[in-house]
Amino acid sequence: MVQLGSKTSTNTSTITVDWDGPNDPTRPPNWSLVRKWTIVTTNSLATFMVSFSSSAFTGSLTQVQAEFDVSADVALLGISLYVMGFAFGPMVWGPASELYGKKRPLWSGYVAFCLCQGFSALAWSVPALLVSRVLEAIAGSATLAIMTGMFVDFLKDPTSRGIAAAMFSMSVFCGPAAGPIVGTVVTDHLGWRWSAWVTLIFSVVFGLAAFLVTPETSEPIILERRAQRLRKKPGGDVVVCASERGERPSISAFAEKYLTKPVRMFALEPILSIMTVYMSFVYGIIYLTFELYPQAFVVVRGWTPVAASMSSFGILGGAVVACIVLGAHSIYHVGPRFVETKQHVPERRLPPMMLGSVILPAGIFWFSWTSFPNVPALAQVFSGVFIGSGSILSFMSGILYLTEVYLAHANSALAINNFIRSIFAAAFPYVGKLLLIRLGINIGGSILGGICIVLMPFPVILWKYGSIVRGWSKFAFQK
């Protein structure tokens, strides 16, 4: 073990632990394809459950109101506070993963997520339920904060990263789309607490599978831990590691250097701030559909809650289509261009976002102006394909673009991006209630569509001038 993956420094009294050449099979980029894609698949399924839990509660709202005798606005906090938890969690999980590696923060958060899911199912009061929900989201957001950066550790070519991003985006957004369908059906037959129990059961199954196949992926952390193990052996005091950064910082130093880093990046990085503004609105629309669809199909069309939940299949279908487009774009455009030029340019990720910025407002206008009882319901359901695909093409292209712009600093960039857009999304169901109930779906939806049109130039500006702006950056990958 001392010889494998290690080499002797010029000082013969010490051994410097390093990789055994560029083709060392223990180095994450050199893992087998089976191992890499097993990690991507299982971790995407675990992430699916975290995002699924955010919206599965939608089907529980009526029963929670009745059991605890609270208003609809109080019950809706179960969704808004969950999304708010998504805002605060990554501000800790993202920087912690850069300092302590990916595995420990990731699974600490996921285990806590499962425990809090059980507390939600056992909640004896509304405060207990709401506290469980927000803690559940804070803990579960470790998957959202860490996994994209984790995939970068072992997927070095842009084609593979694009395919992994498509799979990950399917888990992130098919979860909220499937949540109302499954949550409503389970609640209708077994009660709202069983909706939480079902979520917990599948969370444990998928999480355990991911845990068993996912080792540490951060190269510096792997080498540091290898050196630490060797130092415990006789004569190990002479073992050092080229990547070791000395003692771990104190809590105050960690807060100063790492927890403030996402805020500093947002203030100093134009690409990050522009993309965050755009993605916040798109993310808000995804969670606005939890208010939009019941209003359109239950109130306007008079459907039962279970039947209305089935209308979300339009959004689910759109999510699948968008993920296929993202994967195909990586395989047939980004990959060949990388092979041809021997250089990857992050702006090549933006054409799907530009397509999504056109499709999304089209879907919103379509949905809004087919929301009449005399218009066939199928026409309105089909508009969800455009809303779902437009949202995900815009959103996940943004996530992938930021990841490839910042690479080593990606988790910090995504942490502040997630913080701002999650706060925005938490407020959207209430804003949507004002727009859609007071103004009507037609007028309220048209206002949302109009805002989307105003934001359409954002990805075009970055596509044209992003490389120039990256040249000003202290954190962006330049070559």
Which CATH superfamily groups domain 33-226+258-470?
MFS general substrate transporter like domains (1.20.1250.20)
Q: Sorting pLDDT into bands at 50, 70 and 90, what band is 303?
A: confident
Highest-scoring range by mean pLDDT, 50-59, 171-180, 248-257: 50-59
Q: What is the Cα–Cα distance from 7 to 80, expressed in whole angstroms?
A: 53
103 near 71, Cβ under 8 Å? no
Per-residue pLDDT, 66: 87
Q: Where are the domains of the chain?
A: 33-226+258-470
pLDDT of 257 higher than 60: no
Per-residue pLDDT, 114: 94
31 near 155, Cβ under 8 Å? no
pLDDT, one tens digit per residue, over 163-218 is 887 788 778 777 877 888 888 888 888 888 998 999 999 999 999 999 999 999 98
Residue 367 phi/psi, 5° resolution?
Answer: -60, -45
Beta bridge partners of 17: 6, 241
- Higher pLDDT: 28 or 313? It is 28
**Two tokens at 102?**
């990916």
| AA identity, residue 48 | F
Q: Sorting pLDDT into bands at 50, 70 and 90, what band is 54?
A: confident
Q: Sorting pLDDT into bands at 50, 70 and 90, what band is 7?
A: very low
What secondary structure letter does DSSP report for 215?
-
- Across 277-291, average pLDDT: 80
Q: Nearest CA to 285 among 348, 359, 350?
A: 359
Q: What is the Cα–Cα distance from 165 to 159, expressed in whole angstroms?
A: 10
**Two tokens at 260?**
């403030």
Which positions ≥6 away from 86 have C-beta within 8 Å? Answer: 54, 137, 141, 144, 418, 422, 425
Beta bridge partners of 15: 8, 239
218 near 105, Cβ under 8 Å? no
93 by DSSP, 3-state: which? Answer: helix
Q: What is the Cα–Cα distance from 335 to 156, expressed in whole angstroms?
A: 12
pLDDT, one tens digit per residue, over 400-450 is 888 888 877 776 787 788 888 888 877 776 776 677 777 788 888 888 889
pLDDT of 236 higher than 60: no
pLDDT, one tens digit per residue, over 348-377 is 889 999 999 999 999 999 998 998 888 888
Beta bridge partners of 6: 17
